[in-house]
Structure 1
Amino acid sequence: MNLEGSRTFSSTLKISQIGIWWFIVLINLGYIMVWLMMPTDTFFLHWLPVMQAKTDPIYFGKQGTTVLVYTFPILLMATLATLYHQLIQKASNHNTKSKVGFLRKASWRKPLLVNGPLGIISKTEFSFIIMFVLLLIWSLCSYLHGMFENAALQAANEREQVWEAKLENSALALGLVGNICLAFLFFPVSRGSSVLRFFGLTSEASIKYHIWLGHITMTLFTAHGLCYVTFWDKTHQMSEILTWNKVGISNVAGVVALLAGLTMWTATLPLIRRKFFELFFYIHHLYIVFVVFFVLHVGFSYSCIMLPGLYLFLIDRYLRFLQSQQKIRLVSARVLPCEAVELNFAKNPGLCYGPTSIIFINIPSISKLQWHPFSITSCSHTDSDTLSIVIKSSGNWSRTLYQKLSTSSPPSQLDVSIEGPYGPALTFFSRHEMLVMVSGGSGITPFISIIRLLLFKANNEGGKTLKVLLICSFKKSIDLTMIDLLLPVSGTALDTSRLQLQIEAYVTREKQPPTNDRKLNQTLWFKSNALDEPVSAVFGQNSWLYLGTIITTSFILFLLIIAILTRYYVYPIDHNSDLIYPYFLRSILSMLFMCVSIVIVATFAFLWNRKQNKALKQIKNTSTPTTSPGSIYNKIDRELESPPLQSFVQPAKIHYGERPDIKKILSNCNGSSIGVLVSGPREMRHEVASMCTSCSTDDLHFESISFNW
């Protein structure tokens, strides 16, 4: 492609991105407007009847309106977002810069609150929190205002006291507001979500939103249940708690859903989640019981309000399941004396990921059910054939892995499954004049990929070299071997002197260097298995297009099945009277067909992609010579090797018996734009955030990397 053609192509991509971006923003604004108007009489008395009249009841029934209003816009936005990300990926291949709206502005990412109960909150997060809380307050007040106006008439008709009618109305209003939180609850836990990526969010950074929404949801639903129980007790109707109506609300299903939710909520207490993580992990699977019985409680038609987030989560969850069925080729493991292990996997050369990305891994020989997230330490630019992660012994699972690999007779093979990688779409580390990275213990691992990327850019790109200051704190001097991981296991051909890297290492629990010699790292090389595959995205380089196709096609298939079911089975029975055909049976069939549609389409796409990849691989194998002897795949299986020839430990300045004075270090940093990244214990992250917030200058740009949920 000539220069003029390349410019035309880049301009077309840019215009397409802008058009899709604005279209998605308009859909999002319309969706927000629906939530604002939903508690009002205007919506129920004017808008809703018009929409119901235009929705064909013969094929979809009353649920057709809720699907059109609440589900279709979000799934359309998710589909358009996949196309947007695919265009960004093409633009990046043609060296076209792309940015994600106002959420990327540095001033909005600066910490606003640090020591509050919600942790570190940026200006952007605080703004959205305030808007969401106002939405909940507005909705609750609007519902109560409309219901209390008719409370006296309701009390007279049902022979109740006015306060009893208001209590019943309050219980209903709390449940309706709780549904708002439930509608957004599943968005943050969809790891490969195109919606999260569009707003510049990652799944690991969005977990805290899921936690916040979970607390609010369970608070509202608990209050909803308690108010109804109190009302039934005062009106001598406690038998209502055990009713399962053929048409309308099923109270027993609501009780089961609430009990499942309360059990999960209890397991999220810090005492249980941190000390008994496995118990928390297993109990959290009760979300299946919660969702199923919630749908049976309110009916599938009303559940379409929270369907979009759940639908995208189910697609993401099933794609993760398909990816996890593949066994991954584990090439080597670097065992460190500080009880840390670096695992190196074979990687598809076409797989690209950004620094600070993570993968979830499962090792069946340790636990068949447990999945754990770890930062990717390799760089896709410099490590084209391998993907690396570092695991520090800090729990039963990681300790068992270290013991398995550090024995005198380590295994020659190790079965591993993965999910991911997941990470940010774009990184802006290079936009700063200086980068200050503060880590504590194993918190250094996310910074390894950043340093490797910056080392690659320093060797391959012109211009001014970015200054990098790495401040790492360790408890013992033996933990200094973590710095060796800054370079890959096979060393590097890049000139490390081109990177202006300064390392300040602090050993907090030892006042002087150890007298004995430092133990060397050990490298284990594993035998290959013909069935193992390299790490790759679920659908390769076209993952976004495949995801958009799956969302669209599965939803169309679901609507088609529901239309056939309603027209030829349900409609002849009840003629949309809602008084004959059982709600629970319609809900069960709808949930079943929704899951079946997702499974059919996603499985077909997955198998089709594998078939295409196998055909392409066969063509490459017949048209290209065998791999060179220096390739990672043809290395002779070995048990032990020495560490890389180059090491960053030598130029590192080591301080014993002291902690880093972050305030002094930041005050001595010069530059118009200084990026401050922190990864480590909660106290360290809050300390650095407080210092960046207290500074009156806008030169410091703070960002926290944390997996402490």
Structure 2
Amino acid sequence: MWGKRSLALSVAEVVRLLAAAVFLGYIVLWMIAPTNRYREKWQPKLRADTNSTYFGAQGTNLLIYTSSVLFISILGCVKPGASFWRRPALVRGPLGIVSWTELAFLAMFVALLTWYFSVALSSSFSRITPQSAAEQKEKVWEAKLDSAALRLGLLGNLCLAFLFIPVTRASSILPLVGLTSEGSIKYHIWLGHTVMVLVTLHGLLYVIYWASTDSLSSMLEWANTGESYLAGELALLFGLVLWATTLQRVRRKMFELFFYSHQLYVLFLLFFLLHVGIGFLTIMLPGIYLFMIDRFLRFLQSRGRVRLVSARLLPGDTIELNFAKSAGLEYNPLSNVFVNVPAVSRLQWHPFTVSSNSNLEPDTLSVIIKKEGSWTQKLHQVLASSPPDRLEVALEGPYGPVSNSFSGYDSLVLISGGSGITPFIAIIREFIFRSATGDSATPKIHLICAFKNSDDLTMLDLLLPISGSVSDISRLQLRVDAFVTREKGPAGKADAIRTLWFKPRPTDQLVSAVLGPHNWLLLAAVIASSFVAFLVLLGIMNRYYIYPKDHNSNKVYSYTAKALLNLLIICAAIAATATTAFLWSKQRHAAEGRQVQIANAPSPGATPGVGFHKADQELESLPQESLVRSTNVHFGARPDLKKFLLGLEEEDVGVLASGPRGMRRDVAMICSSGHANNLHYESMSFSW
């Protein structure tokens, strides 16, 4: 047993070291790219060695840029999972809560941008002389303005190369550094703002340059070869509209506007491709390529309708949706899913934290939805006013961490505000399962939750699953302190939790991983096989279609047509390989799905579609009694977090905070104050 564990650990270490080495080489490549030595000596030799009738000039970029990052992603599928130091370094400021690890990587990335721009600009300026400017019929300052504008665009391309990696939900790269797509969304935001600032400056400087050289007509040019200026301006226009709607005020108050306008990224990328050409885009292609695979797999998963078993309606305008899932689907606490309800909106998808536990509830996946925005209000109205006998729901996911970083602490403090309690329900259910099996020691758990009204206290009932699979939680060292901030005392008996049951349909599917239980290995196969298929099709197209036209006529083959053909080949390769893997996985789960449908079919005497679950009257059961004894309710007060956290004496305490930004910031400040070295903070932002 020990030998197998040591082998597994060694494989994981080798994978991470190899991935780190390749990534370091990738970064070094970006560092040397603007130098004169690379431009004048190494790049010509690389192009001469890789330029062929099959891959053309883009062969160099495909080899050194695209293949390296795709190789890292394949390595990440072999053995994902890592953890890094997350102690807060910055708490206040526009970046939010930033750990020391994040700060270190941020500093290195800023240093890379500074190096790249300064070296590229100085190398370019050194070649600008009065004679060279005169040859181009321009002044020296105009030549330098042209050069600066171009280098700003190149700097934006560097950021664009990383932009889509954080939002690739089933990413195999992020787990290598202990991240999830949800946890790294802020990196996408930082990169997105940086990209738009740089490309906007790039465009503005070129407008100034064209105006100064009396060549504003260039703005309407769509060149057959080289850069198409009009395509670049259209890309910038779509990017600016997208950028304007990502501002926090717009996103929070007009989510629909943000959601729909964000789909303009498709047009932004399309016209960016037509602006720079496929040969140059291959430098930024890896992140976009992996995102395209992920997006197509999500499209395939979202086409089906999942089996919604029941919904629990709580008095505090909270809903718990329970879906039938494949028994082979395993996920960790803090995972999330994206939910679409066509009866509310056919286009909108909203993320929710998974509150169930795959060990404790092998046949059910649950999410908790608080009535806050317009979408959730409509959903609550559909279920509460005249509940249907069936509700169509589509689902993407689950996505989440590949390991439980919180499980190694001696003590856990879970601090939540409002609906922020949702991720902690899954954590507590995980430890309920572990305490029942006795396979491993469980930490002391202290849940501190704040609610506005006493009706929201019913969310504590969700700590126990609807399935009734829990018989005893007395072994779990759980303490709950609930604070009701807007009421001075109990408001009377709360309404009972109402449970709705829904009819199944033969076409309903179980919630399962998009590529089945071997999701990572199949993802590696899709990445590798699609890229190989793309290279084969590209070689055939270049050798037998584009190359003859380029060399047997007086005209160079259109860059726009070549870019669109390359895009078509990429889409075809991804669609063919991903669809094959998806259908193969789906066929394996078809038999299991039919068995579950039969098992969950309502009895002939049951009320069709909707009823009240008998578990609602079982509140005096042993688990419920244990939970009540472990819970203290405080009215008209807020928790004194500083006094409590600094008073903890355990040596290794994990502190998880989920809820309003101000609360998370206060907890982070306490943990990073230097007075509590035993506290290890992790922020649960869930800010999609």
TM-score computed with the length of structure 1 as normaliser = 0.92
Q: Residue 12 of structure 1: CA displacement?
A: 3.9
1:121 to 98, 119, 143: 98
1:640 to 598, 612, 633: 612
Deviations 1:387-425 (CA, angstroms, capped at 9, x unpaired): 110000001111111111122x41110111100000001
1:28 to 16, 19, 23: 23
Q: Residue 605 of structure 1: CA displacement?
A: 1.5
SS of 2:536 mapped into structure 1: helix
1:133 aligns with 2:105: no
Contact 2:326 2:593 in 1 (8 A): no
Partner of 2:48: 53
Letter in 2 for 1:613: H
Contact 1:140 1:177 in 2 (8 A): yes
Partner of 1:680: 659
In terms of mean alpha carbon deviation, does 661-670 or 224-233 score higher? 661-670
Letter in 2 for 1:476: N
Letter in 1 for 2:273: V
Partner of 1:452: 429
1:381 to 355, 359, 368: 359
SS of 2:368 mapped into structure 1: strand
Cα distance in 1 for partners of 2:645, 2:115 equals: 43
Q: Residue 56 of structure 1: CA displacement?
A: 4.1
Partner of 2:673: 694
Please list, as runs of the form range in 1=range in 2, the aligned pairs for 1:17-416 lying within 5 A after superposition: 17-85=12-80, 100=82, 104-105=83-84, 108-152=85-129, 153-407=131-385, 409-416=386-393
SS of 2:681 mapped into structure 1: strand
Contact 1:247 1:578 in 2 (8 A): no
Partner of 1:670: 649
Contact 2:326 2:592 in 1 (8 A): no
Partner of 1:92: none
Contact 1:456 1:494 in 2 (8 A): no
SS of 1:343 mapped into structure 2: strand
Letter in 2 for 1:687: D
Q: Residue 161 of structure 1: CA displacement?
A: 1.4
Contact 2:646 2:675 in 1 (8 A): no
1:496 aligns with 2:468: no
Partner of 1:520: 496
Contact 1:78 1:548 in 2 (8 A): yes
Deviations 1:81-133 (CA, angstroms, capped at 9, x unpaired): 11224xxxxxxxxxxxxx62xxx24xx21000000110000000000110001
Cα distance in 2 for partners of 1:12, 1:482 equals: 43
Change (3 A) 1:70 1:509: same
Cα distance in 2 for partners of 1:576, 1:439 equals: 70
1:435 to 412, 433, 457: 412
Contact 1:190 1:313 in 2 (8 A): yes
Change (3 A) 1:276 1:576: farther
Change (3 A) 1:501 1:617: closer
Deviations 1:293-316 (CA, angstroms, capped at 9, x unpaired): 101101100000110000000000
Change (3 A) 1:464 1:359: closer
Please list, as runs of the form range in 1=range in 2, the aligned pairs for 1:467-478 lying within 5 A after superposition: 467-478=444-455
Partner of 1:582: 558
Q: Residue 627 of structure 1: CA displacement?
A: 10
Deviations 1:561-611 (CA, angstroms, capped at 9, x unpaired): 111111111111224999611111111110111111101111122122223
Contact 2:546 2:557 in 1 (8 A): yes
Q: Residue 431 of structure 1: CA displacement?
A: 1.3
SS of 1:58 mapped into structure 2: coil
Consecutive unaligned residues of structure 2, counting only runs of 5 or more, are: none
Q: Residue 62 of structure 1: CA displacement?
A: 0.1
Q: Residue 649 of structure 1: CA displacement?
A: 4.4
Identity of aligned residues (%): 48
Q: Residue 495 of structure 1: CA displacement?
A: 1.5
Change (3 A) 1:266 1:302: same
In terms of mean alpha carbon deviation, does 683-692 or 16-25 score higher? 16-25
1:532 aligns with 2:508: yes
Size of the alignment, in residue pairs? 676
Contact 1:385 1:632 in 2 (8 A): no
1:554 aligns with 2:530: yes
Letter in 1 for 2:429: R
Q: Residue 344 of structure 1: CA displacement?
A: 0.5
Contact 1:627 1:634 in 2 (8 A): no
Letter in 2 for 1:32: I
Q: Residue 614 of structure 1: CA displacement?
A: 3.4
Letter in 1 for 2:36: D
SS of 1:374 mapped into structure 2: strand
Please list, as runs of the form range in 1=range in 2, the aligned pairs for 1:651-662 lying within 5 A after superposition: 651-662=630-641
Deviations 1:193-249 (CA, angstroms, capped at 9, x unpaired): 101111111011111100000000000000000000001111111001111111111
Change (3 A) 1:577 1:694: farther
Contact 2:273 2:281 in 1 (8 A): yes
Q: Residue 20 of structure 1: CA displacement?
A: 2.2
Cα distance in 1 for partners of 2:407, 2:280 equals: 48
SS of 2:347 mapped into structure 1: coil
Partner of 1:483: 460
Contact 2:509 2:593 in 1 (8 A): no
Cα distance in 2 for partners of 1:526, 1:388 equals: 15
1:598 to 554, 563, 574: 574
Contact 1:192 1:203 in 2 (8 A): yes
TM-score computed with the length of structure 2 as normaliser = 0.95
SS of 2:499 mapped into structure 1: strand
Q: Residue 53 of structure 1: CA displacement?
A: 1.7
Consecutive unaligned residues of structure 1, counting only runs of 5 or more, are: 1-5, 86-98
1:507 aligns with 2:502: no
Cα distance in 1 for partners of 2:37, 2:484 equals: 65
Contact 2:152 2:198 in 1 (8 A): yes
Change (3 A) 1:491 1:114: same
In terms of mean alpha carbon deviation, does 361-370 or 649-658 score higher? 649-658
Contact 1:147 1:169 in 2 (8 A): yes
Letter in 1 for 2:446: L
Cα distance in 2 for partners of 1:579, 1:177 equals: 32
Change (3 A) 1:436 1:7: closer
Change (3 A) 1:433 1:15: closer
Cα distance in 2 for partners of 1:131, 1:155 equals: 36
RMSD of aligned residue pairs (Cα, Å):
1.9
Q: Residue 492 of structure 1: CA displacement?
A: 3.6
Cα distance in 2 for partners of 1:84, 1:251 equals: 44
Contact 2:185 2:687 in 1 (8 A): no
